[in-house]
Chain A
């Protein structure tokens, strides 16, 4: 079976790319061989005047390179050669005397866009599925098939860097404005328009393109001095965003700069050299692993495959219209497009919740991610009341009420009384064991946990927590629903704190202990943000809310004993009326909702003076190893099913630095032996809370690792 089918009609070759046996088109080695042959035909067949390249896949043009193929490369030179060959192939398209029109509908990503850029004319559809992007930096790479050269030449340095350095995707309308495509059409006439354009190009040649962007583009993109400003600003943005942990964006910037300032040959050389180095570098390897793990998770429903099919959710009930409930409702309406009924104790609360949920849609509308009519339609999915009317038709009910066992049990009983027996009840709790909530349930087989993270519209993770009694059908339904909401879903065991809060607990405790020892708060947070976390642990306590954090840590302490004993620190702050960001007073001061520096009055409150000679190496070691050790223990307890789930949970649930792969991956990288040694050292100084996990020692004994080497 061939990937390309060519039909020649009145001198115009319509080449349809339809990779057999795959849902999307990818540029694998085998495809490239076929494509080279095709290029020779286009060059030599004198009956062909021009060509159209179009995809045979629904809603996908070309999704990019075959990641599995290049991630198997082991040497820098092999990776560099891959990039070089890609550049050569794409250049052959560009230099072809037969004009080629790219007819783009659906995802046009990475190598797919680089190929389209080498075509002589680009037409894309106005369909929302049509997305153009160079997402290579998200895998720790750079566009390595001439993308760093052709994109800035086509749309200017600023717009090109904006796309290349972030990997963000653009829809057809924006692509047209940028000059990335030449025409925007509805999908129904894509092929005909492309054929007509190919015919025109064959007769009249490639039309000159008017530069876009007016005077700013003239000043910034088309003068060397202007571009210097552009490069400097881009570099600053990259460093602010990556903290210097991710080399790819800077290398991409260098490839763009070299190409624009020293000519395309130098640029292409810089591009394939950088690609080679990055592809076998540690950061890219980690990011690719994360990519594969995330993809594998998308196919993992948390049950024995085939043991149940998901129920269709035609109405969602949400009990509790607070921040969480509203976030869940809003995301369900936005991404699942499901009829959603919100319930709380009184109508003003329901109204506030509806407002917040609608606000998630309104924000998308403002950013032009939704049209007016989509916004109207989706917001009409959201309704609410102060009673359970509408719940009789609910297929799934998620409660997000106050974190209190009796309250949650009460809500469960109320919901069971009004819903159909097949309805599934999910509790959004961060710490309360689901089996406790389900203890008096009439239908415990339909009860499970769905632990969302706040704010729901931003946090990508969802923990689904079945109990011993939960049926597979309920599990797969919750997993699939969470996934449709846009979440990465891990199925975790019904243990206190589940996975994310379990590994977070000793880490946050240790941060509070450090504060109690007088270690300056900004030093603690800086140490950990430099290490790669998006926020430091003390700032995180403020974000979570000190009262909430205290409540959670008490639950964890009760469940796990002294190892997870929280220090007095939080209690002192709470007694002083501090709840963190939400009331504008915590470890930090807040002005108009913005963090405004550490509140120095915290130190006298807990009876310490900030010490001056704290060692950030020690801080880092204590915090990181507290988490690694707990991760090893939780895995041993069976909280997560695989190291993969645990690492993805840490990455997406708490922002564990992706370039480190996750806590379990890190243990493998450091070796379990070394981790145990460090823990023993910490135990000697700081006590038994650092006593190494039994699982770690077991791993050493069996000479093993969490992941295959």
Chain B
């Protein structure tokens, strides 16, 4: 069955993440580099892997810090790894870690590497704040000035408005539309009600709370030693609200369209800090090292739509493509993980997969499939757990692989929507 993907079979040996924390909370003082290094090192420890076995490190990060443009290299320079391990960082927006895993799998399949550490990280507590264009130009010019007088003269051209800092926006550069506005547009165009969104958010929180309580989620978390004394232990995600209710969610005001809107802070994923990583190996390498893989990567696919249309509909295209590459149909899937950027986005994607009209648009004989919520996002999703842009893909692979093992499921699917109108899908399999 597993010969659908060309090249060597790629094993998912293990996955791990830091706790996911709302930006500006427990990881306020922590750099993305520190989060990424922590999770990578703990993954090596938990797998009892000799760091010298690692051939490459690939990490996703959407908003890199100015000082560390290639966070993956900082990870690969962990003293537990060989300094000769190459590393690069990439950006496919919210699917970055999924892309890191896909690229790693490709390299392994091709025989270029046996063991790759792939993951992602985001710290929105540690984002670059830029000077205005004009002020930057003044600074550069002053830096080039030959005399002190000229330098002061250049700097004197600064006007107060030049000093207003520029922060990165979660908006489409091509359309200027924010992610939330896009979700709002999708809710309206696809007829997703406020109540359906809140209900979905509630389910995300309840499931995440239950999975934290019974240890399914905490098993995937490398606790963080926080505080000045390193004795304030962070072992769980701090965005999960076990006590939330439909009523509480209903009280929140829409953020992006105060009058007719339905997208609220409660039914969207929060800005989050965190890191996640997955250890991938060639199947024979995993066997040789005595590892029992959680699952194997069977296929992957990426798609994109015009961002000025419904921004977060990329998965509608990516998922059937990945299934086709996996030579599987929706009914073969035992588990599904859908990244929850917004409840409106998830419900729009799900609706499209089940629709005959969409099947026609996609050129398929019939609808992609009907989501069974008993087998989908069973441990909650990004709305409750949080969504560090660069890391989410690796979290989803980790959670799905573990749950597939727990439930003894053969095939599982991951669907991720991303900025820029992109969608990323992965199919995992077990023997």
Residues in A lying within 8 Å of B, measured CB to CB: 314, 337, 339, 341, 347-352, 354-355, 358, 377-378, 380-381, 383-385, 389-390, 392-393
Contacts and interface: CB of A to CB of B under 8 A. Distances in A.
B230 A381 contact: no
B223 interface: yes
B45 A390 contact: yes
B29 interface: no
A354 B46 contact: no
Given A314-B50, A351-B225, A355-B231, 20 more contacts: A339-B79, A339-B80, A347-B223, A347-B233, A348-B232, A349-B231, A351-B229, A352-B229, A355-B225, A355-B229, A378-B79, A380-B37, A380-B41, A380-B79, A383-B41, A383-B45, A390-B46, A390-B48, A392-B48, A393-B48
B324 interface: no
Contacts of A350: 225
B246 interface: no
Contact of A389 (B45, B50, B78, B229): B45
A385 B45 contact: yes
Interface string B44-88: 011010110000000000000000000000000111100000000
A347 B42 contact: no
B235 interface: yes
B41 to A, nearest CB: 6
A404 B231 CA distance: 25
Looking at chain B's contact residues, is the secondary structure mostly helix, strand, loop, or mixed?
loop
B45 A348 contact: no
Given A337-B79, A339-B79, A347 B45 contact: no
Interface of B: 37, 41-42, 45-46, 48, 50-51, 77-80, 223, 225, 227, 229-233, 235
Looking at chain A's contact residues, is the secondary structure mostly helix, strand, loop, or mixed?
helix
A377 to B, nearest CB: 5
Given A390-B45, A392-B48, A347 B79 contact: no
A421 to B, nearest CB: 15
Nearest to B226: A351
14 contacts: A314-B50, A337-B79, A339-B51, A341-B45, A347-B223, A347-B225, A348-B231, A351-B229, A351-B231, A354-B230, A355-B231, A383-B45, A384-B225, A389-B48
Contacts of A385: 45
A420 to B, nearest CB: 10
Contacts of A348: 231-233
A354 B223 CA distance: 13
Contact of B79 (A358, A377, A390, A392): A377
A390 B77 CA distance: 19
A377 B41 CA distance: 12
Given A341-B45, A393-B48, A352 B230 contact: yes
A642 B233 CA distance: 49
A566 B14 CA distance: 57
| Closest 10 pairs between A and B when the two form their complex, measured CB to CB | A355-B230, A351-B225, A390-B45, A351-B230, A351-B231, A348-B231, A347-B233, A392-B48, A352-B231, A381-B79
B167 to A, nearest CB: 27
A389 B37 CA distance: 18
A314 B44 CA distance: 14
Nearest to A341: B45
Nearest to B38: A383
Contacts, number: 56
A270 to B, nearest CB: 51
A679 B389 CA distance: 78
Contacts of B51: 339
Nearest to B47: A389
Given A347-B223, A377-B79, A389 B231 contact: no
Nearest to A347: B233
Nearest to B229: A355
B36 to A, nearest CB: 12
B292 to A, nearest CB: 15
A386 to B, nearest CB: 8
A277 to B, nearest CB: 51
Contacts of B42: 383
B75 to A, nearest CB: 10
Nearest to A352: B231
A123 B42 CA distance: 45
A347 B235 contact: yes
A314 B230 CA distance: 25
Contacts of B230: 351-352, 354-355, 358
Contacts of A314: 50
Contacts of A337: 79
Contacts of B233: 347-348, 351
Nearest to A393: B48
B324 to A, nearest CB: 40
A594 B221 CA distance: 42
B275 to A, nearest CB: 14
Contacts of B229: 351-352, 355
A362 to B, nearest CB: 12
Nearest to A373: B77
A354 B225 CA distance: 9
A354 B235 CA distance: 17
B290 to A, nearest CB: 11
B289 to A, nearest CB: 12
B58 to A, nearest CB: 19
Contacts of B46: 389-390
A676 B318 CA distance: 93
Contacts of A355: 225, 229-231
Nearest to B235: A347
Nearest to A339: B80
A257 to B, nearest CB: 46
A105 B278 CA distance: 45
B126 to A, nearest CB: 16
A381 B45 CA distance: 12
Nearest to A391: B48
A380 B78 contact: yes
Contacts of A354: 225, 230
A510 to B, nearest CB: 40
Nearest to A394: B48
- Chain A CB count within 10 A is highest, among B41, B46, B50, B231, for B231
A358 B34 CA distance: 14
A580 B77 CA distance: 44
A385 B225 CA distance: 10
A347 B51 CA distance: 24
Nearest to B77: A377
A339 B232 CA distance: 23
Contacts of B48: 389-390, 392-393
A303 B230 CA distance: 41
- Chain A CB count within 10 A is highest, among B37, B45, B78, B233, for B45
Contacts of B37: 380
B212 to A, nearest CB: 16
- Chain B CB count within 10 A is highest, among A341, A351, A385, for A351
